[in-house]
Structure 1
Amino acid sequence: MIIKIILVILIILIASTIYHQVRKKIEFKQNPPPGEMIKIGEDKMHIYGKGEGDLTIVFTSGGSGFTYGHFYEAFNELAKENRVVAYDRPGYGWSESTSRPRTLEQINKDLYELLDKSGETGPYVLVGHSIGGTEVLQFAQRYPELVAGVVMLDAGSVNYHKQEPPLSWSTNIIRFSRFTGILRFETYVMDKLKPSILEGSLPKSEEVRDLSMMMFYNRLCNRNALEEIKQLPKNKELGKNLGDIPLLLLTASESEPKHHDIERDELFMEDQKSLLEWSTNSKQKMVEGSHMFLLYEPEIVIEELLDFLDNMVE
């Protein structure tokens, strides 16, 4: 009896995996990238630009995120009077996976080359969420002549990530469920029965929700994203100085612990205070809610970005 049950489970998993992998190819064919696919190294990366202006605002997502979906409202609102760009790191969104190391140094080099080859011009205002914020902070340190401002959405410094705990066993379960298509099924059922459950993972706007769902169950915890997280404690801090480059920190409030770990949350808040000292032109704004406030409170992100451009960026 046990053997029969195991066989049935195996057959279901094989069928689910085949269906998921076929559907994945069909979905990406039906939803082509809106921007350019540019070869960086041996792989192609996606970059999408819109609007015109003296500055170029560059958006980048956090771990396993989907930049265009996560910043959809801000991207389109700011494009009315500015040049805005959304790009996908390797393994994210429409970008291909890569074998290049996922150190911040390499990620910065990838972005520098991508911006150059795409024809985008600075000065750049860099906007990054979570580890994407850590990424843009170091980009500004490596290429300060290109950067007019840095915005970090609930993001920490490299030194903060030195305390990053090892990936938990649940990560492997998520990877398995994504590869076999179980995550696709779970996401679909949750969205139909109780859409609010996905509030912290999908954007508020209906226009990009289905596309974001597709990226969620096809890209979550992919190899490159996990390699970035594993590398976080090993990245080298480049110092604690941005000079007079404007720096805005949007920090999720303390009312909802980000890590379910009071000690880590206290370390994060201390790191935020320290980051304010990195620039002679810095500001912090507390945002009520959790780490993913950019998804369910996009209006706050837009308001703060517009204020940053008007009052802090020259």
Structure 2
Amino acid sequence: MNALSTKKEKRRMNTSLIWLGRVVVVMIGLALIGAVYERMAEAADAKAYPPPGQMVDVDGYRLHINCTGTGSPTVVIVAGLGDWSTSWGGVVQPEVAKTTRVCTYDRAGMGWSEANPLPSDAAQFARELHALLENANVQGPYVMVGHSLGGLIVRVFAHDYASEVAGVVLVDSMNPKQVTESLSNKLALFSSIEAAVARVGVGRLLVKLPAIAPSLPAGDEAYYPLLFRPQTFQTAANEYRELPASAAEAAAVTSFGDLPLIVLTARLNDNPGWPEWQNELLQLSSNSEHLFAENSGHVIQLDQPDAAVSAILKMVELVRQSRHE
């Protein structure tokens, strides 16, 4: 290679490095702008969408709980993985509140609740929920309603605080047997990537695309502002990562005795093995009943909320009847 060719090659390399440097500078600049935009948007959302319930201190961090209606037993709804109180507040909670007191809440890091550094497994969630109910002065007896991951949490709660639980409704609940470590880790990684992207405000831009964020029913305007935060995705990642631990803790609870149990299954949930896993849940109690949401996928509270309301109110009535026997 002659001197002229060498000089040309150096020029090309220098030019490439200059352009690469410019791209890096632009990317860093955009990331900084996005991060500032995200913080400003979260501050604005906090003012625009205040929590509908109350913020209650639990061991140094505050959790959101929203109780409506009057009467006993008190229904406590535990949302699924990556979900919080809003999906139950549109139809299910108002309908149940016509009959008895009903509480929805947000696990730490979800919805309006503050994050904490504690493990994100079923045992910790059960302890946290019990402390929240005590500190919020929500009296039992409780009808515990658990959807998806919430079913694992309710399973542990009903065992650890058996004297306070009058009945259980499992709404398309997870079965511990369905949890695998490899899938949990993959989903945790995906949610962690979502959290990283959300930190630079990308989620705020995606929410404006109808294909990604379709319009919501009136009264649920807070959902997307809460969803597209880095905290929400990171909390979901933590919950996915701890799924094997949650499954093991729930699997250790093999029986509720004769505690009234309703298993509500989504007929259109096509997850392989789902019917068998749901049938197994019936064995948790000698006093169990299997109901179906015929026209619903996994998210029954949105797909067919009347089925969720019906199952919950049926359990409330069973508990009330048992008091008079």
TM-score between both structures, scaled by the size of structure 2: 0.83
Change (3 A) 1:51 1:70: closer
Contact 2:75–2:143 (Cα < 8 Å) also in 1: yes
Q: Deviations over 1:144-171 (max 9, x none)?
A: 1111111122212334435662332432
Q: What pairs with 1:21-170 in structure 2 (closer than 5 Å)? A: 21-161=39-179, 165-168=183-186, 169-170=189-190
* Partner Cα distance (2:290, 2:256) in 1: 15
1:59-88 CA distances to partner (integer Å, 9 max, x unpaired)? 121112121333431111111121111111
C-alpha distance in 2 between matches for 1:148 and 1:246: 7
Deviations 1:161-214 (A, max 9, x none): 356623324323211222221112112222xxx4xx546xx8x63211x11111
Rg larger in structure = 2
Work out whether 1:249 is the aligned partner of 2:263.
yes
Shift of 1:108: 1.0
2:73–2:319: 8 Å Cα contact kept in structure 1? no
Once residues 282 and 198 of structure 1 are traced to their aligned partners in structure 2, the CA distance between those partners, rounded to angstroms, is 38
Q: How far apart are the structure 1 equivalents of 2:182 and 2:289?
A: 25
CA contact (8 A) 2:84 2:107 kept: no
Partner amino acid for 2:41? R
- The partner residue of 1:284 within 280, 287, 290 is 290
Is the contact made by 1:64 and 1:220 (CA closer than 8 Å) also made in structure 2? no
Secondary structure at the residue paired with 1:52? coil
Gaps (5+ residues) in structure 1?
Answer: 259-264
Deviations 1:10-62 (A, max 9, x none): 32232122111111022113322222222111211111111110210111211
Q: Aligned partners of 1:166, 1:114: CA distance in 2, in Å?
A: 27
> How far did residue 277 of structure 1 move?
1.2
Distance 2:71 2:229 in 1: 34
User: Does the C-alpha gap of structure 1 residues 173 and 163 become closer, same or farther in structure 2, counting only changes over 3 Å?
Assistant: closer
Aligned to 1:181: 201
In terms of mean alpha carbon deviation, does 87-96 or 63-72 score higher?
63-72
Give deviations 1:230-272, integer Å, cap 9, x for gaps: 122124333310112121222223x5534xxxxxx21x43221
- The sequence identity of aligned pairs, in percent, is 27
Q: Which residue is 1:217 aligned to? A: 228
SS at match of 1:148: strand
Q: Is 2:168–2:260's contact at 8 Å kept on the other side of the alignment?
A: yes
The structure 1 segments of at least 4 consecutive aligned residues displaced by more than 6 Å after TM superposition are none
Structure 1 counterpart of 2:234, one-letter code: R
Q: Which moves more between the two structures, 97-106 or 300-309?
A: 300-309
- Report the Cα distance in structure 1 between the residues aligned to 2:229 and 2:192, rounded to whole angstroms: 15
Letter of the 1:244 partner, please give it. D
Contact 2:191-2:236 at 8 Å conserved across structures: no
Q: 1:163 to 1:64 in 2, by over 3 A?
A: same
2: CA distance, partners of 1:71 / 1:110:
21
SS where residue 116 of structure 2 aligns? coil
Q: Any stretches of 5+ residues in structure 2 without a counterpart?
A: 1-18
One-letter amino acid of the structure 1 residue matched with residue 288 of structure 2: S
CA separation of 1:100/1:115 partners in 2, compared to 1, >3 Å: closer, same or farther?
same
Q: Secondary structure at the residue paired with 1:10?
A: helix
Structure 1 155/141 Cα, relative in aligned 2: closer, same or farther at 3 Å? same
Match of 1:305 in 2: 312
Do 1:47 and 1:88's aligned partners in 2 also have CA atoms closer than 8 Å? Answer: yes
Query: Aligned Cα RMSD in Å?
Result: 2.3
Please give the alpha-carbon distance, in whole angstroms, between the structure 2 residues aligned to 1:226 and 1:178.
13
Residue correspondences, number: 297
Q: Distance in 1 between matches of 2:59 and 2:199?
A: 26
Matched, 1:269 2:289: no
Contact kept in structure 1, 2:166 and 2:319, CA below 8 Å:
no
Q: CA 1:220–1:77 in 2, change beyond 3 Å: closer, same or farther? A: farther
Q: Counterpart in 1 of 2:238?
A: 227
